Amino acid sequence: MMRMQRVCILGGSGFVGRHIANRLHDRGIHARIPTSYRERTKQILVVPGLELIQADIHDPERLRELFDECDAVINLVGILNEKGFDGSGFRHAHVELTDKVLAACRDTGIRRLLHMSALGADAENGPSYYQQTKGEAEQHVLAAKDLDVTVFRPSVIFGPEDNFFNQFASLLKLSPGVFPLPTPHARFSPVYVGDVAEAFVSSLQDRETFGKSYDLCGPETFNLEDLVRYTARTAGIRRAIWPCGDRLSRLQAKVLQRVPGKPYSMDNYLSATVDNVCAVNNLPQLGIHPTAMDAIVPGYLGSKTERARYNQFRQMARR
Ligand SMILES: NC(=O)c1ccc[n+]([C@@H]2O[C@H](COP(=O)([O-])OP(=O)(O)OC[C@H]3O[C@@H](n4cnc5c(N)ncnc54)[C@H](OP(=O)(O)O)[C@@H]3O)[C@@H](O)[C@H]2O)c1
């Protein structure tokens, strides 16, 4: 295989994309990242040699232009909430865009496509629009036998600037003494963003990964209540966490999805009704040893606890 020089990363301006772009750079591969809002993105996305381009990636013609002179495409686009409530926003971002990406790859002669899905993605049985549309997109990608595709399905991803621990820490700080937690029994195996980024980058030129799908998990499994208690403890926030039953969880979702910014929705609630854990974790198959939460999270949750200080010290000392 010829050496890769340039990779177009759709959705590359986000949390995971930044890590992938940096790792590509370390391997001498340029990243081209389209964004809907270049001025904002250029402040937060600092990667040497990066081509950051303002573009509407839903426009097929623009997509073909973006793919020009690229050796591979990575599609990371995903949304946790849509503007409306009928699933069409999820379908647009996940299924319709994926179809346009597949068509643009064929039109421009790009064979290599790495596609980000999610653990629990399931076109037929997924309880939420998020999971159904992610599942459908996955099926379309894996059916593209004329291309060299690989699909990744991570559990919730952690790391500095994540949307999980940081968001729970902010919500805990905002809550007045008691924090009502919906779906406390939902199970997750949080996976480190560095491991997810490594899975993408190390697979890029590995023929063994063509046509395959990889479930990516961390080394431990927790329920949501454990994870939120861990967040509070690690960030040094003293709040009573009140696990909500099913009826109250649904009620919270119904109310909060009407609040501007949709901090929580029925679709989020439905996603959490199935476990987000790996039957088999495929990270080791890719030569990656899964990183434990406790080796990373205390380093960025800003805790004042002794344990966190100890872990920060260990991280600095690279031990
Ligand atoms: N984070 C997790 O815990 C997790 C877990 C499992 C799976 N995943 C999947 O991993 C992928 C990346 O996650 P992330 O946390 O890095 O997401 P993120 O930080 O929200 O970034 C996603 C990027 O996609 C672009 N984007 C968002 N909506 C779009 C739309 N409708 N059309 C086109 N572009 C759009 C945005 O770019 P601009 O604003 O610059 O245009 C955004 O920066 C997603 O597919 C997600 O479903 C994430």
Does 257 fall in a domain?
Answer: no
Ligand 1 site: residues with CB under 6 angstroms?
A: 11, 13-17, 35-37, 41, 57, 76-79, 93, 116, 118, 154, 156-157, 163-164
> Is 281 part of a structural domain of the chain?
no
Query: Considering its fold, how many domains does the chain have in total?
Result: 1
Residue 84: CB atoms within 10 A of its CB come to: 8
State in Å: Cα 240 to ligand 1 middle: 32
Cα separation values, 113 from 73, 104, 302, Å: 5, 11, 37
Residue-level pLDDT at 280: 98
297 assigned to some structural domain? no
Among 42, 133, 138, 157, the mutation site with the greatest number of ligand 1 atoms within 8 A of its Cβ is 157
- The tokens describing 184, both together, are 């406390």
- Centre of ligand 1 from the C-alpha of residue 317, in Å: 32
* 319 residues of the chain, pLDDT tens digit each: 668 999 999 999 999 999 999 999 999 999 999 999 988 888 888 888 899 999 999 999 999 999 999 999 999 999 999 999 999 999 999 999 999 999 999 999 999 999 999 999 999 999 999 999 999 999 999 999 999 999 999 999 999 999 999 999 999 999 988 999 999 999 999 999 999 999 999 999 999 999 999 999 999 999 999 999 999 999 999 999 999 999 999 999 999 999 999 999 999 999 999 999 999 999 999 999 999 999 999 999 975 555 555 555 555 444 4
Q: Give the CA distances from residue 93 to residues 6, 8, 20, in Å, rounded to whole numbers and listed in that order.
A: 24, 17, 20
Ramachandran bin of 242, using left for φ above 0, alpha for ψ from -120 to 50, beta for the remaining angles: beta
Q: Ligand 1 pocket: which of 8, 13, 16 to mutate (most atoms <8 Å of CB)?
A: 16
CA of 197 to the centre of ligand 1 (A): 14
Q: How far apart are CA 30 and CA 315, in angstroms?
A: 29
pLDDT at 172: 96
- The preferred substitution site among 15, 54, 195 for testing ligand 1, maximizing ligand atoms within 8 Å of CB, is 15
Residue 242 domain flag: no
Q: What is the pLDDT of residue 153?
A: 98
227 in a structural domain: no
What does the block give as tokens for 191? 């996976």
Residue 115's SS3 state is strand
| 3-state secondary structure at position 7 | strand
CA 81 to ligand 1 center in whole angstroms: 11
CA-based radius of gyration for the chain: 20
Q: Can you list the alpha helix ranges (DSSP code H) found in 109-213?
A: 129-142, 165-174, 193-203
Residue 309: predicted pLDDT: 54
Q: Give strand pairing partners of 116.
A: 152
Ligand 1 atom nearest to 16, measured from its CA: 16
**Would the pTM count as exceeding 0.85?**
yes
75 falls within a domain: yes
In a domain, 48, yes or no: yes
The HSE-up count of residue 79 (CA atoms within 13 Å, CB side) is 21
The reply to whether 12 falls in a domain is: yes
- Domain CATH code at residue 93: 3.40.50.720
11 Cα: distance to centroid of ligand 1 (angstroms)? 5
Centre of ligand 1 to C-alpha 16, Å, is 8
Provide the 8-state DSSP code for 4.
P
Distance 297 CA to ligand 1 centre (A): 21
One-letter amino acid at 310 equals: Y
Domain carrying residue 18: 6-160+191-216
